[in-house]
Structure 1
Amino acid sequence: MFDQNFALLAATKATLEGKGRQYLMSAGPRVAALTLRAEGLRDAEERGYVDDNGKPKEDEVKAFFAELRRLTTILCPGSGGWEMLPVDLAISGGKIDAEDWEEVEASIVFFCCHWSMAKKSDRKRIGQSTATFLKASTTPSPLSVYLASLPNLTQAATSVHKAVSSVPS
């Protein structure tokens, strides 16, 4: 995903940082996705990638967000315990609403702009500090391992049978 979108991610990060540290730290996490969309449209217009009406085409931006959505899994409580749901199912199932997703999407874009632009030797530190700033955390564990570490939401079935009283009632 980075190879196809590096220019878009770099432009987004530069735009956020170009408005100053205060803007980056206060508004950046909230407007990162909107900034990426704007940068994508600006780039399309500069390259002459426009429709018949002269409007910038949104194909690259739409593809970026479709891939981000496809790669994102929402971990949420369900009737059988923790569930890993694709974004669309989490929204349609009422686990999160569209506004929640917009905030998460913006945070993911903000994180990706910082982590993906960092040198390999700095990525762990940048990733951890950016996640902390976003009040999130990172884990090197696969999601299934992380899921197994969460508290049970349902009572486990027991294989022990209750003794039946021999005393008549």
Structure 2
Amino acid sequence: MNKRRFLSACGAFGGLVAAPAWALYDPPPDALLAAGVGAWRGTLTYRDYQNPDRMVTLATRVSGALISPDELALYYVYDDGPGKTVYSYERLRLDVAAKRLTSLSGVSKPGSTDYTVTLLEAGAQGAQLNYERRVDGGVDHFEWRLTPRTWLLTKREVRSGRDDVVRSRYEFTRDAG
């Protein structure tokens, strides 16, 4: 192929993949969700469902990517013992005005859960998002803290007549890449 044909073909292809002019005016991503973009490595520690007095820890990786200004896609990989790897997918949509976080999770058994946002702060040093939902006569509280290098997510269950219980905790550091 001569040089002129090659450049013409590249130009035609570039026109197909270039963003339309109106896309240049899309809103910036939500700062809190943007902070979760990238590769993270750490652990999930959770209360064993068979023996609630026992805590289980799994090596975990998560990758986050924005799929719109208000939606973060998360892809989890858990090391669940010798030769056993577990995968999980989740999309989080944040509606700041409505104070709502919607979680769309799973592929084989998809589900959607809405949460009420109780705290949302984002700045140069990090971000915090607290949200909750009413369930089984109680409340599930979630606290999400992000800094440029760390990401912590804690789920606490509060049930009538019982002590506040930590159900699970993710602790990640950003992959150096």
Q: Shorter-chain-normalised TM-score: which range?
A: under 0.3
Query: More strand per residue: 1 or 2?
Result: 2
**CA radius of gyration, larger in:** 1
- Structure scoring higher RCO (CA < 8 A, sep ≥ 6) equals 1
Query: More helix per residue: 1 or 2?
Result: 1
